[in-house]
Amino acid sequence: MHLLRTPDSRFEGLPEYPFEAHYTEIDSGEGEALRIHHIDEGDPHAPIVLCLHGQPSWSYLYRKMVPLLVELGLRVIAPDLPGYGKSDKPAAREDFSYQRQVDWMGQWLATNDFGDITVFGQDWGGLIGLRMVVDQPHRFSRVVVGNTALPINPDLDLAIVEKVMQFRTDGQRLSFPQMARALSRLRGMKADPSAFPMGFAHWQKFCWETPDMPAGFLMEMMVSRPATWKVAPRVLLNHIFGTSLPPLSPLGRAYEAPFPDPTFKMGPRAMPSQVPTLPTDPSVEAQARAWEFFDRFDQPFLCLFTGDDPVTRGMERIFIQRVPGAAGLPHQVFDRGGHFLQEARHIEISKAISDLIKHT
């Protein structure tokens, strides 16, 4: 396995990110030492909040929540998934799978021997974090999820499966506007499990077929609503002409920092295609076993979602209906906040996590 490591100089002077770096080496599964970075802030004897990010972000996404949670008396651990942030970045597509991320982060967790954890997972942080709870339940006391899912779609018509697979592999390059329009029309998997896989396939296809996937641009678009219309035309120009454009702001530069050049972006490019939206996906059996576990999970399970995220809207209802530990808890669905709710709803999320720990 060929591993890339982002130079430390890429992370110098990032706004609102003064945190000390901590590193753990695990076995990549192919003999190499894979280095994973994490933040560790707060009283080392305080209850642990494990904050897991998704794609294409990194632990920088939690920079606003970390000081709030520490002020509330908690210890915050925020790792970067392999392929993201300050962690090592496997360079080949086949290096990335859902199971491998679960296994890598499970190794990282066991090596650090963290326990009595309240985990908060958003986007891929939820998909991976929930599976970590299944694999090592003795380490977790509470679960909080935001704008994420434990996706499984076993009854999808095979004709739709074939249509999605043909679309994802037809060799036709997808334009940025086509991708954006398809995502804007999504209503969540729960609302329409038949239409969701094709809509989400636009994101999967765009990420994979864009070697220099503009992570900084995309994050700025999704977290800075006033900048959306200024960012979109420049991303489109980048997509059409292949020009290298700098991010628009310090925020964009921070989210682009882990990726000095396109070779470092295999994780953000490959991971969307690993989301199990089809019954033929390789992780379906593991997802089914995970749901068997959570159908019996009676520890506190809190949902904090936003109503304006087209990808995960409505998914909180599945957790609330199925997970016994969700009963009677003060779940919240914020009207606004976008997909990356840690940026706009950091105060509300931090307080909800703190209150959950205090009251349980």
- Report the candidate in 307, 309, 300 with the shortest Cα–Cα distance to residue 329: 300
88 is catalytic: no
Residue 223 pLDDT:
85
pLDDT given for residue 193 in this prediction: 74
Q: Is residue 324 within 8 Å of 296, Cβ to Cβ?
A: yes
Percent of the chain with pLDDT over 70: 92
Predicted pLDDT at 225: 55
State the average pLDDT over residues 283-289. Answer: 97
Percent of the chain past pLDDT 90, that is, above it, reads 81
- Distance, CA of 341 to CA of 326 (rounded, Å): 20
Question: What is the reported pLDDT for 61?
Answer: 98
Catalytic residue among 38, 239, 339, 346: 339
What element of type H or E holds 269?
helix 266-270
pLDDT at 14 over 80: yes
> Cβ contacts of residue 262 below 8 Å, gap of 6+?
211, 212, 213
Task: Residue 175: count other Cβ atoms within 10 Å of its Cβ.
Answer: 13
**What average pLDDT does this structure show over 169-198?**
82
Helix, strand or coil, per DSSP, at residue 334 = strand
Q: Looking at residue 183, what is its pLDDT?
A: 85
Q: How far is CA 335 from CA 95, 150, 263, 304, 349, in A?
A: 38, 22, 38, 11, 14
Q: Report the relative pairing of strands 48-52 and 75-79 from DSSP bridges.
A: parallel
Closest CA to 299 of 331, 274, 329, 343: 329
pLDDT at 228 over 70: no
Q: Could you say which of 80, 88, 281, 309 is catalytic?
A: 309
pLDDT confidence of residue 160? 94
Range 14-29 average pLDDT: 96
Q: Is 331 a catalytic residue?
A: no
Weakest-pLDDT range from 59-73, 184-198, 275-289, 346-360? 184-198
Q: Which amino acid is at 127?
A: L
191-200, 213-222, 239-248, 272-281: which has the minimum mean pLDDT? 239-248
Which tops the pLDDT comparison, 175 or 50? 50
pLDDT in tens, 263-282: 999 999 999 999 999 999 99
State the pLDDT confidence band at 194, using cuts at 50, 70 and 90: confident
Annotation marks residue 339 as catalytic: yes
User: Does the pLDDT of residue 339 top 70, yes or no?
Assistant: yes
What's the pTM? 0.93
Among the listed residues 80, 88, 95, 123, the single catalytic one is 123
Does the pLDDT of residue 247 top 50, yes or no? Answer: no
3-state secondary structure labels for all residues of 220-257 = HHHHCHHHHHHHHHHHHHHHHHCCCCCCCCHHHHHHHC
Tokens found for residue 246: 């700098």
The domains of the chain, with CATH numbers, are 3-152+284-359 (3.40.50.1820), 159-274 (no CATH)
Residue 175 predicted with pLDDT over 70: yes
